[in-house]
Amino acid sequence: MNTVPATASVVVIGAGPAGMTAGIALADAGVDVVLLDQLAEGANTSRAAVVHARTLEVLDEFGVAGELTERGLIVDQFDLNDGARRLATVGFDGLPTRFPYALLISQATTEEVLLARLRKAGGTVLRPYTVSVVKGDETGVTIEFTDAAGDPGSIRADYVIGADGMHSVVREQAGIGFTGASYPESFALADVRMDWPDPRTEVSLHLAPQGFMLVAPLPDEQDDRFRIVATIDEAPEYPDLAFMQAIIDDRHPGGRVREVLWSSRFRVHHRLADHYRAGRILLAGDAAHVHSPAGGQGMNTGIQDGALLGQLLARVLHGEPDILLDQYEAIRRPIAQGVVALTDRMTRMATLRPRPARALRNAVIRIALSFPGMRRAMAFRLAELTAR
Ligand SMILES: Cc1cc2nc3c(=O)[nH]c(=O)nc-3n(C[C@H](O)[C@H](O)[C@H](O)COP(=O)(O)OP(=O)(O)OC[C@H]3O[C@@H](n4cnc5c(N)ncnc54)[C@H](O)[C@@H]3O)c2cc1C
């Protein structure tokens, strides 16, 4: 446990991908930045599994896109199926970017790379400190926290970034609403070793009357590791091998699960912060937006938030007018709004049950995505290149 200083120019609360990216941008610009996180060490669970092209472009500015690409698995195709029938294939190759692919990589690895880069820039993460109070005034922000022993402390900052995830204390303390709702289905998620018929350069979404199933290859020396995400009315807390095998048998027979490496059940919400800024307090990442995992956009949007916010804040701290910070919400909130809307449409379409509605959906998808321009637009949107 490191000691928290009495003051810093910027305190970032939460050292997930969004907070660390903001920390890198600030530290690179020579800003005195401190990151506080309540966990004793970074989470090592899998969570987000894909880094999209726009995020790689942003991270390339910090010089880490190359290392991520080396450690990840390149996927250039997204397949959409209903049962055994292929509805459409969307290719990422040919996208106008230096990174014309989706990079499959575990969130733990992405966070490891970001943390190393943050340290290289001179930034540090102080742990474990749980923030409970964030009070802004005209000249700065006071943050109160407790350490591992439960002893209280405080730090004063010019600005605070709340990158403390979906249940953000910073958002709550700033009195910013988080408008939206939850999906009725639960999601079963498992990282497995399995025999799978499709090439490991493809991610596939399988639509079925029981719900959808997404299968994505994960980087691994044995080349047999996959992420499975499926909607289900009521999933067990830790889906086991038999449960995941039954989902595959129902929705796309042909795969054989040999081992469940990690599994979880979660409910998904779609919510957007009413504002990204309250005076000297700003929000980034899941603290500002949460949505369905369809399309794997969550962490990507958060990293891009962090990069822009860190850069704008550094310019303000180097003398530009504070009003510059209003650009952050003006640019990033509509992007998150678009991601929430897109993933909501994808989730609702993928979870349709009545047979006539499914038949109509399939026909619309097949016809729409038979046009190369529509496939390209879909790939562009999934890669978040619209956020440029
Ligand atoms: C099971 C699961 C599966 C997922 N799958 C996907 C996926 O496939 N694709 C995708 O894009 N996204 C996925 N996500 C979401 C993705 O993990 C998040 O979008 C991403 O982690 C958001 O990053 P963040 O930096 O905003 O917040 P987080 O990663 O949530 O980090 C917030 C940090 O703040 C710290 N913190 C919280 N409160 C306090 C406090 N009071 N004081 C101090 N520190 C605090 C936490 O310890 C944490 O380290 C998944 C999430 C889960 C849980």
pLDDT at site 317: 98
Q: How far is CA 113 from CA 62, 105, 330, in A?
A: 11, 11, 29
Distance 35 CA to ligand 1 centre (A): 15
What is the position in ligand 1's atom list of the atom closest to the CA of 287? 26
Half-sphere exposure of 73 (CA within 13 A, CB side): 24
What is the position in ligand 1's atom list of the atom closest to the CA of 129? 43
pLDDT tens, position by position, 219-278: 998 999 999 999 998 889 999 999 999 999 999 999 999 999 999 998 889 999 999 999
pLDDT tens, position by position, 84-130: 789 999 999 989 999 999 999 999 999 999 999 999 999 999 999 99
Q: What is the mean pLDDT of residues 302-324?
A: 98
Q: What is d(CA 205, CA 192) in angstroms, rounded to the nearest whole number? A: 17
- Of the candidates 298, 269, 266, 267, which has an alpha carbon nearest to the alpha carbon of residue 182? 269
Q: What is the mean pLDDT of residues 340-344?
A: 88
Does residue 136 line the site of ligand 1, with CB under 6 A?
no
Does residue 299 line the site of ligand 1, with CB under 6 A?
yes
Contact assessment for residue 198 and residue 252, using Cβ atoms and an 8 Å cutoff: no
Does residue 158 line the site of ligand 1, with CB under 6 A?
no
Does residue 107 line the site of ligand 1, with CB under 6 A?
yes
Does residue 108 line the site of ligand 1, with CB under 6 A?
no
Does residue 165 line the site of ligand 1, with CB under 6 A?
yes
Q: Name the pTM for this structure.
A: 0.95
pLDDT at site 1: 60
Distance 296 CA to ligand 1 centre (A): 13
